[in-house]
Amino acid sequence: MRERKIELMDNKISRRALICGAIALAVGVTPEIAQAAVPAQGITKRKDGKLDLNLAKNPALKKVGGAVTIDLTDGTSVAIVRTAAGVAGLTVINLSCTHNGVTVMQNGNQWLCPAHGSQFTLAGKVVQGPARTALFKYPSTATLKTLTIG
């Protein structure tokens, strides 16, 4: 399995997010977005480098299809997605398109790449290319209150 660091960045709007938003507006993606991921709240970094996410502070994750995002220091973003009910129903993926690294955006029940049109399921599997591989998935464990990433 590939390794990927999960270094937390301030949860402000990143330059990359602004650029992707501008691209999305230019290609007309935004009007079709039924649901959009929101910045995660209640994140703490543990001594072992893993991140803990307080689930009570992220109501978007109560409903299947809900997603929250975390910006990392490497300029990429991570999404925590509710893909099913229960503690095993959370998936953590990196939002860098596996075709050429552009940040994908939530478009209803899929992630859409504004660069060349790749589409992924909410869990990160390829639905449509040119991307050929799934979005990077981080290991995670959950309790009723906390999701631990890394």
CB of 104 to ligand FES, least distance (A): 7
Q: Which is nearer to ligand FES, 2 or 47 (CB)?
A: 2
C-alpha–C-alpha distance, residues 70 and 77, integer Å: 6
Q: Which is nearer to ligand FES, 40 or 97 (CB)?
A: 97
Strands 67-71 and 38-39 turn out to be parallel
Q: Which is nearer to ligand FES, 38 or 126 (CB)?
A: 126
CB of 50 to ligand FES, least distance (A): 28
Given strand 105-107, what is the order of strands in its sheet? 105-107, 110-112, 119-121, 126-128
CB of 131 to ligand FES, least distance (A): 5
Give the binding site for ligand FES (CB under 6 A). Answer: 97, 99-100, 102, 113, 115-118, 130-131
Q: Which is nearer to ligand FES, 32 or 87 (CB)?
A: 32
Instruction: Say which DSSP state 144 is in.
Output: S
CB of 12 to ligand FES, least distance (A): 24
Alpha helices, H only, 13-124: 15-27
Q: Which is nearer to ligand FES, 39 or 130 (CB)?
A: 130
Q: Which residues, other chains included, contact 56 with Cβ-Cβ below 8 Å and sequence gap of 6+?
A: 42, 145
CB of 134 to ligand FES, least distance (A): 13
Q: Which residues, other chains included, contact 77 with Cβ-Cβ below 8 Å and sequence gap of 6+?
A: 14, 16, 17, 69, 70, 71, 94, 95, 96, 103
